[in-house]
Chains A and B, each alone.
Chain A
Amino acid sequence: EPEVTQTPSHQVTQMGQEVILRCVPISNHLYFYWYRQILGQKVEFLVSFYNNEISEKSEIFDDQFSVERPDGSNFTLKIRSTKLEDSAMYFCASSEGFAEAFFGQGTRLTVV
């Protein structure tokens, strides 16, 4: 069964460093998303992406964040200068259309 794959599963980084979180969406999906979850609580929207453009982004997704689909299969989230409050579980998701999205297993980002 096709699935969304995220790497790494866990990333520890020093405050101020850049991190890139990687995702391989399901191959025939056209819509991509990043969400994050802090301490297993609320699922927060970061950004949605379609046709090589950001469709919508949240207030969390400031100038320190960027997304890219570099090669037609990967979908990356970059945080340029990490802060302590960026520590969270980051989930990538993809959908074929406007119905359900499928989520990856997440990358746990720890900023120290």
Chain B
Amino acid sequence: AQSVAQPEDQVNVAEGNPLTVKCTYSVSGNPYLFWYVQYPNRGLQFLLKYITGDNLVKGSYGFEAEFNKSQTSFHLKKPSALVSDSALYFCAVRDEGNNFNKFYFGSGTKLNVKP
């Protein structure tokens, strides 16, 4: 069965420090992987994706993520966190084995960046 795991409900980091938000997935076919960010009372905003090619993908606002096929992971990273990065982050996957019919979302990780 398809699933996405975000093992940390919350990540705390000081402004200026690097941040990592973890994501692992389980699919039956090739994965298409995504990160979304949600600010309070707002919709989900697309950050970045991995479809194919280079395992390190770069997205909006200085975020990047690394696809690791052997570890089935797609961790979100940023070299230097900003207070404005504080939000709820969701990892999502589409599964070729399910005809890409839908996004499977993780449970979300709340990122707190402190000044």
A residues contacting B by CB (< 8 A) are 4, 33, 35, 40-43, 45, 48, 55-56, 91, 93, 98-106
Contact = CB atoms under 8 A, between A and B. Distances in A.
B49 A43 contact: no
A25 B45 CA distance: 15
Interface of B: 32, 34, 36, 38, 40, 42-46, 49, 51, 88, 90, 94, 98-105, 107-108
Contact of A43 (B32, B45, B90, B98): B90
B90 A105 contact: no
Q: Which of B94, B101, B107 has the most CB of A within 10 A?
A: B101
Given A41-B107, A45-B103, A98-B32, 15 more contacts: A33-B102, A33-B103, A35-B103, A40-B88, A41-B108, A42-B108, A56-B101, A91-B44, A98-B94, A99-B32, A99-B49, A100-B49, A101-B46, A103-B46, A105-B43
A103 B42 CA distance: 10
Nearest to B110: A40
Contacts of A48: 101-102
Nearest to A44: B105
Nearest to A54: B101
A43 B108 contact: yes
Contacts of A56: 98, 101-102
Contacts of B104: 45
Given A40-B88, A41-B108, A103-B45, A98 B100 contact: yes
Given A56-B101, A56-B102, A98-B94, A104 B107 contact: no
A35 B90 CA distance: 14
Contacts of A55: 99, 101-102
B15 to A, nearest CB: 24
